[in-house]
């Protein structure tokens, strides 16, 4: 019961944003971004999952990937993707650590070919949040807590964001992407969003 009460208080707190960056978290500036089109307001949050190599957690490969610093590896998958230019605004590790790679007012390269409600190129008007994870392993409790704090904060700070405009990568790129996967607990997250 004590843990449940503590979790309740944690996920009902807000974080601070200054100059489009969350305060008091690690910032690792990715070169993989550009300017949002002037006619596009931030109006969508896209949730992803990632682990490098797939299903392996607790290393720095994801950070290195977003920073274009992946080295040649014995792992075939790492070698296959290491020249790709990808980024996300935020990354939430399984420990709950949050890293920001791109400021919210800039366009991170997380969604790829995508469409939502008939509007293509979701990178233009979305914030991308990566969770350290994969389709067939449940996410950690602390990741839901941190994610809900972030989403609540974003909704308060960006006027076109609403709690009904939080989607999965698979929603905007059906057939091409499956993340964050079937084990992501949408019902739980929705109870944590104000």
* pLDDT of res. 1: 36
* pLDDT of res. 128: 98
- How confident is the model over 55-78, as pLDDT tens digits? 999 999 999 999 999 999 999 999
* pLDDT of res. 3: 37
Angle (CA) 94-13-51 rounded to 5° is 15
* pLDDT of res. 2: 37
- How confident is the model over 8-31, as pLDDT tens digits? 444 457 899 999 999 999 999 999
Of 69, 54, 62, 51, the C-alpha closest to 26 is 62
Alpha helices in the chain (DSSP H): 2-10, 61-66, 76-81, 141-157, 169-172, 186-192
Question: Per-residue pLDDT averaged across 35-57, rounded?
Answer: 97
CA–CA dist 130, 30 (Å, integer): 14
41 is known as an active-site residue:
no
Prediction pTM value: 0.93
Question: What percentage of the chain carries pLDDT values higher than 90?
Answer: 92
* pLDDT of res. 90: 98
Confidence of residue 5 (pLDDT cuts 50, 70, 90): very low
Instruction: Give the Cβ contact number of residue 113 at 10 Å.
Output: 12
CB 153 within 8 A of CB 24: no
* pLDDT of res. 14: 83
CA–CA dist 97, 126 (Å, integer): 22
The one catalytic residue in 63, 130, 132, 140 is 130
CA–CA dist 91, 149 (Å, integer): 14
The overall average pLDDT reported for the chain is 93
Confidence of residue 154 (pLDDT cuts 50, 70, 90): very high
* pLDDT of res. 12: 53
* pLDDT of res. 85: 98
> CA gyration radius for the chain?
16
| Strand ranges inside 51-182, DSSP E | 90-92, 98-100, 106-108, 115-116, 119-120, 126-132, 166-168
């Amino acid at each position: 019961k004590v843990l449940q009460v503590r979790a309740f208080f944690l996920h009902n707190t807000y974080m601070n944003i200054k100059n489009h960056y969350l305060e008091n978290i690690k910032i690792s500036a990715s070169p993989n971004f550009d300017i949002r089109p002037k006619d596009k307001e931030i109006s969508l949050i896209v949730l992803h999952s990632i682990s490098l190599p797939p299903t392996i957690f607790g290393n720095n490969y994801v950070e290195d990937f977003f920073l274009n610093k992946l080295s040649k590896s014995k792992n075939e998958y790492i070698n296959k993707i290491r020249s790709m230019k990808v980024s996300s605004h935020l990354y939430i590790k399984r420990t709950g650590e949050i890293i920001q790679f791109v400021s919210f007012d800039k366009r991170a390269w997380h969604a790829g070919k995508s469409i939502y409600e008939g509007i293509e190129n979701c990178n233009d008007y979305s914030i991308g949040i990566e969770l350290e994870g994969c389709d067939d392993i449940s996410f950690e409790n602390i990741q839901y807590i941190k994610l809900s704090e972030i989403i609540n904060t974003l909704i308060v700070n960006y006027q076109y964001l609403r709690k009904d405009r939080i989607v999965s990568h698979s929603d905007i790129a059906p057939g091409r992407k499956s993340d964050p996967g079937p084990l992501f607990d949408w019902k739980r997250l929705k109870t944590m969003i104000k």
